[in-house]
A and B are shown apart, each in its own frame.
Chain A
């Protein structure tokens, strides 16, 4: 049974006279209890999906499609109903924990307010949060609450933000690039953190990341995004172990331990997308068909792939 169903989601931003197509016609389901990963390079539209789900995009974004949570369309909710979903059912773990914490408010207040709108006693909530903080490898959480965000280290801030997003036990956690901007050591910590969250928590997670190691470690299924489209979707071990789409292959090969072979070229301009397959300019397998026709998603051995030549591979 899928907890979250995304149907034909497209997001466009006006840019002067043009529009930037950030996300186009994305479909996927997130099943209850699973960890679903969205990977792709910077600017592929991953984070936009995450923010669009909670309607946190700037007002000028044009969003179309439907997002069904428990069968209820989030895009048709009134603001007050949406707030209930935001506070209670779906939580967002934002990228850049440093920016997500308000610099002039003490950590305690920022943790407490999570419970405020839900009618939960603050003290009870705080007790739970403190336990959670201990679990998430934060030492001395009581003391930490009386500090300001700038007095914490990057890793501590990330844990704190993680704790805020988890402490009201959401049904769905959207983690938006949790390892962005962290040094390798803190990144390892993040992998550990997420494995821990998954084990202790067992709730449904939507993990948006460009960190393939983290994705492989934590995710059950993965969608690969390129230029605002999903190009491949399958079990994590299959996508990252035996990638089918040329772009996923390139991503995997670009990993340091796989030889650090960079993908040549750049992703296309999102104002005027190329005809045919969006990846054909950079694709080493591309044939005549790839220039002419935009490939549709096709079922292939249980997974989905957007390529004309899946049989070749």
Chain B
């Protein structure tokens, strides 16, 4: 896990420096919006030396790592002149709220629709659900977001176009963000459920005279959930990735929009911090998934 974090940090760091354009110059231009042409050579040099941007990359990188480990300080924003940790603490709750709500929607809606679809295998309701979710997994999140804004905000005037704070602000971004995950979770649940329902222990449970709902909830669900949980773990990753774009579209003050802004401003410490935060959350979710696995399947626990 530590190794993964290190590798991700190194990769972001070097990739950010490979992007064309001098960091110092762009940072400066970004802070002086409207006066970009007035940026002088001296000012650029001044910035460069203040943030040690002229040092070789690996020295910059290891200086950052050392700082991060020894003092817990992961840098100061070039643009906002504030510690990155402070910015993250400011923005993270919004992202966790959005991603968390989307995840809950994805799990609840995806799993229940998947079970329903499996029980109605090859009937009309199953086909309709499958076609709808096929759209769900195929459509890119940003496009869904724009469509939702167009329909629900501009035409029907049911929800605000953008913003943050109240529940109705959450509605559209969460819907746009979770649609893909709902569809993915539903499809996996359906297939996994169908496979489980064909197992011999399901037949034996029927022979015991158990009613269908008990067979599904007690015998099938736990077994069918194993692959679904894996997919939910991966979906969490794509949710965090999708949040970057969705937050930008809905002006959601989360870590995603911070990341996008910092990339264009070449605010390296902030980019680094955002990526670090996202990856940490992702790894944490995967850790949870592994724990859940062993909890659900006794064969893994004792095997």
Contacts and interface: CB of A to CB of B under 8 A. Distances in A.
A86 B215 CA distance: 14
Contact of B218 (A92, A94, A101, A105): A105
A94 B207 contact: yes
A114 interface: yes
A104 B208 contact: no
Contact of B222 (A91, A105, A118): A105
B211 interface: yes
Interface in B5-63: none
A91 B207 contact: yes
A287 interface: no
A102 B219 contact: yes
The size class of the interface chain A forms with chain B is 20 to 34
A259 B286 CA distance: 61
A253 to B, nearest CB: 33
The size class of the interface chain B forms with chain A is 20 to 34
A96 B211 contact: no
B192 to A, nearest CB: 13
Contact of B219 (A54, A105, A151): A105
Contacts of B200: 94, 96, 99-100
A94 B298 CA distance: 23
Interface string B266-277: 000000000000
Contact of B201 (A87, A101, A116, A165): A101
B208 A56 contact: no
Contacts of B66: none
B209 A99 contact: no
Nearest to A80: B211
A63 B214 CA distance: 27
Nearest to B211: A83
Nearest to B200: A99
A103 B223 contact: yes
B208 A150 contact: no
A127 interface: no
B299 A150 contact: yes
Interface string B283-303: 000000000000011110010
Contact of B297 (A104, A114, A165): A104
Contacts of B298: 103-104, 148, 150
A116 B209 CA distance: 9
A91 B297 CA distance: 28
Interface in A96-138: 96, 99-105, 109, 113-114, 116-118
B203 A56 contact: yes
Given A105-B222, A150-B298, A151-B302, A99 B206 contact: no
B164 interface: no
A88 interface: yes
Given A103-B298, A104-B222, A150-B298, A113 B210 contact: yes
Contacts of A165: 207
B205 interface: yes
Given A103-B223, A103-B299, A105-B222, A86 B206 contact: yes
Nearest to A54: B207
A293 interface: no
A102 B205 contact: yes
A109 B214 CA distance: 12
Interface string B212-228: 00100011001100000
11 contacts: A85-B209, A87-B210, A91-B207, A100-B203, A100-B204, A101-B204, A103-B299, A148-B299, A150-B298, A161-B204, A164-B208
Interface of B: 199-201, 203-211, 214, 218-219, 222-223, 296-299, 302
Given A83-B210, A100-B204, A117-B211, 13 more contacts: A56-B203, A56-B207, A83-B211, A87-B210, A92-B204, A94-B203, A101-B201, A103-B223, A103-B297, A104-B223, A113-B214, A117-B209, A148-B298
